[in-house]
Amino acid sequence: MGKTVLIVEDELKMRKLLVDYLRHEGFNTIEAANGREALERYEAGRVDLVILDIMMPFMDGFDTCRAIRETSNVLIVLLTAKSEEYDKLLGYDLGADDYITKPFSPKVFIAKIKALFKRLDEGSGAGHHTVSIQGLELDLDAHEIRIDGRRILFTRKEYELLLYLYRNPNMALSRDQILNQVWGFDYEGDIRTVDTHIKRVRQKLEHKSDLIATLKGFGYKFEVRR
């Protein structure tokens, strides 16, 4: 069965265009014209990815993203005409996985969507088991994180980031390395995205946050005691 994408866009012409692009590539699609409709559609059925416009009536993309992230780690791509750095950082801080700025080419749009799913599939194919490090558990099947047996809700990108750090224990990883491996070489955002996500991951790790050490002026290291 193909992946299902929820397209949330108040401009009808743009929404139908996105639907055409995605269906042509074999994706199933669900449509919503605003944030309220998006939450209703999302709760009504299985969705693998949400394409979320920011500037919408009734409930904007930021509030919709925040609401979805309260209960789900589904992939979220923000779609907007805005290109200001603040908007991108806010989007990532709310848990968005990627950001596409209008106008964009259909080929680039589809390539980004496929790249997100590819990285997601590669992550799940790495091993069909749960690994544990000093009370921190990573479920490689369910893409879930547990601390001392308690499930912690991580976004897809936060999970991918922590998994990448885990797979490279006690190695000094630069921000560029992390950005390229977790977000991909075609990522157009700012390198500070790494810092934003590290901050969110540490907050969620609570008393396990010291597993991630900061290397001042360079990057980060996942410290595992032997």
Contact 64, 37 (CB under 8 A): no
More confident residue, 121 or 91: 91
Which two structure tokens, joined as six digits, stand for 154?
């991580």
pLDDT in the model for residue 127: 46
pLDDT in the model for residue 121: 67
pLDDT in the model for residue 29: 95
CA dihedral for 30, 116, 89, 68, sign (positive or negative): positive
The proportion of the chain whose per-residue pLDDT surpasses 70, expressed as a percent, equals: 90
pLDDT in the model for residue 128: 46
As a whole number, the mean pLDDT across the chain is: 85
pLDDT in the model for residue 193: 85
Range 46-60 average pLDDT: 90
Range 81-88 average pLDDT: 68
Give the count of beta carbons closer than 10 Å to the beta carbon of residue 183: 24
Stated pTM of the model: 0.64
Task: Say how far apart CA 140 and CA 131 lie, in whole Å.
Answer: 8
Per-residue pLDDT of 99-146, as tens digits, reads 888 888 888 889 889 888 877 666 555 444 677 787 888 887 777 888
Range 43-72 average pLDDT: 89
pLDDT in the model for residue 123: 55
Q: Is the pLDDT of residue 1 over 60?
A: no
Range 38-59 average pLDDT: 90
Per-residue pLDDT of 147-192, as tens digits, reads 888 888 888 888 889 989 988 889 999 999 999 888 876 666 678 8
Which two structure tokens, joined as six digits, stand for 65?
């993203």
pLDDT in the model for residue 198: 94
Phi, psi of 189 (to 5 degrees): -85, -175
The structural domains of the chain, ordered by start, are 4-123 (3.40.50.2300), 127-222 (1.10.10.10)
More confident residue, 119 or 210: 210
